[in-house]
């Protein structure tokens, strides 16, 4: 029993699956590097959109679009086509197996900007 508790505690403190997502840090970084840029987000788990909305001001919320979980590459490509020249960042949260990131990389150019526990922030290019 003690061994199982030890393994569980080790995983809790050292395994990123158990870490709290650092969404606030990613939004703060985006705010600093792209004060007029757009922020897109996608996540494999629910609740991310609501959390990000809490950290955005009213004017920032107008530049934020949640892509969801499905067809994220097509949605991001459509956004870039509708907003040419606007600096655009995508926040990928809880993508433990890289599915969302791989979908975006197939059709868009991603430049990794920042990595936080449970969150990756990229700058998008068509």
Domains plus CATH for the chain? 21-125 (3.40.190)
What pLDDT is attached to residue 73? 94
Cα–Cα distance measured from residue 30 to residue 22, given in angstroms and rounded to the nearest whole number: 13
What pLDDT is attached to residue 96? 84
Distances (CA, A) of 13 to 9, 73, 115, 117: 6, 33, 18, 12
What is this structure's pTM? 0.82
What pLDDT is attached to residue 37? 92
What pLDDT is attached to residue 31? 94
Question: What tens digit of pLDDT does each residue of 47-101 get?
Answer: 888 999 999 999 999 999 999 999 999 999 999 999 998 999 999 998 988 999 9
């Amino acid at each position: 029993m003690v061994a199982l508790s030890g393994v569980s505690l080790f995983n809790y403190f050292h395994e990123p699956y158990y870490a709290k997502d650092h969404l606030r840090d990613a939004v703060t970084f985006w705010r600093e590097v792209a004060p007029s840029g757009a922020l897109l987000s996608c996540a494999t788990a629910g609740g991310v959109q609501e959390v990000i909305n809490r950290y955005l001001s009213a004017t920032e919320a107008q530049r934020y679009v949640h892509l969801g979980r499905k067809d994220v590459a097509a949605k991001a490509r459509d956004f870039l086509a509708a907003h040419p020249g606007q600096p655009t960042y995508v926040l990928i949260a809880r993508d433990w197996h890289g599915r969302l990131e791989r979908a975006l990389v197939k059709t868009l150019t991603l430049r990794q900007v920042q990595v936080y526990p449970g969150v990756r922030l990229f700058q998008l290019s068509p």
